[in-house]
Amino acid sequence: MSKKSSETLAKDREYHRDPEVREKEKAQGRKKRVENRALVLQAYGNRCACPGCGESHVGFLVIDHVNGDGAAHRQKIGGGGSVMYHWLIKHDFPKKGFQILCANCNMAKGIYGKCPHETERSGETP
Ligand SMILES: [Zn+2]
Ligand SMILES: [Zn+2]
């Protein structure tokens, strides 16, 4: 009797360790993250906010903290990425302080303070 139940337990553990099951769970998690991402990006306009860019391929778009307070915000809500998308959905897509940038513009803004697209437009030399 007790032998049988411990066998069932072992089987249970095996089920959860099954790479196929784990792969499936991972795929479901990924699908959910992609869905949340699409929802958030759509709410913010599905387009890079940088003047002179206008990238609209969702795969390249990220949510940007307009005032550069992303690190503090991520710390406050307990993470970035999917945590952030979930937070934005839960808070009904707050428009103040958030915008969409593409990965290029976002990276450049992080390094230079603003994107080279903007510098080009204003005629300054970087
Ligand atoms: Zn851009
Ligand atoms: Zn740009």
Q: Which ligand is nearest to the CA of 64?
A: 1
Q: Which ligand is nearest to the CA of 100?
A: 1
**19 within some domain:** yes
Q: Which helix (H) or strand (E) holds 61?
A: strand 61-65
Q: Which helix (H) or strand (E) holds 36?
A: helix 19-43
* Confidence at 78, pLDDT banded by 50, 70, 90: very high
Q: What is the pTM of this model?
A: 0.78
- Which residue shows structure tokens 């949510």? 63
Q: Could you tell me the distance, in angstroms and rounded to a whole number, from the CA of residue 34 to the centre of ligand 1? A: 20
Per-residue pLDDT at 7: 72
Which residue range(s) make up the domain with 77?
6-101
Distance CA 73, CA 4 (A): 51
Residue 124 buriedness (CB in 10 A; 0-12 / 13-18 / 19+): exposed
Of residues 13 and 59, the one with the higher pLDDT is: 59
Q: Which ligand is nearest to the CA of 48?
A: 1
**76 within some domain:** yes
Q: Could you tell me the distance, in angstroms and rounded to a whole number, from the CA of residue 90 to the centre of ligand 1? A: 26
Q: Could you tell me the distance, in angstroms and rounded to a whole number, from the CA of residue 52 to the centre of ligand 2? A: 6
**110 within some domain:** no
**118 within some domain:** no
pLDDT reading at 122 higher than 90: no
**125 within some domain:** no
Distance CA 76, CA 52 (A): 33
CB 80 within 8 A of CB 70: yes
Q: What torsion, rounded to 10 degrees, do the Cα atoms 78, 79, 83, 88 define?
A: 80
Per-residue pLDDT at 2: 52
**107 within some domain:** no
Distance CA 86, CA 36 (A): 7
Q: Percent of the chain, pLDDT > 90?
A: 72
pLDDT reading at 125 higher than 70: no
- The tally of domains found in the chain comes to 1
Q: Which ligand is nearest to the CA of 51?
A: 2
**40 within some domain:** yes
pLDDT reading at 44 higher than 90: yes
Per-residue pLDDT at 15: 67
**36 within some domain:** yes
Residue 40: closest CA among 80, 102, 82, 5: 82
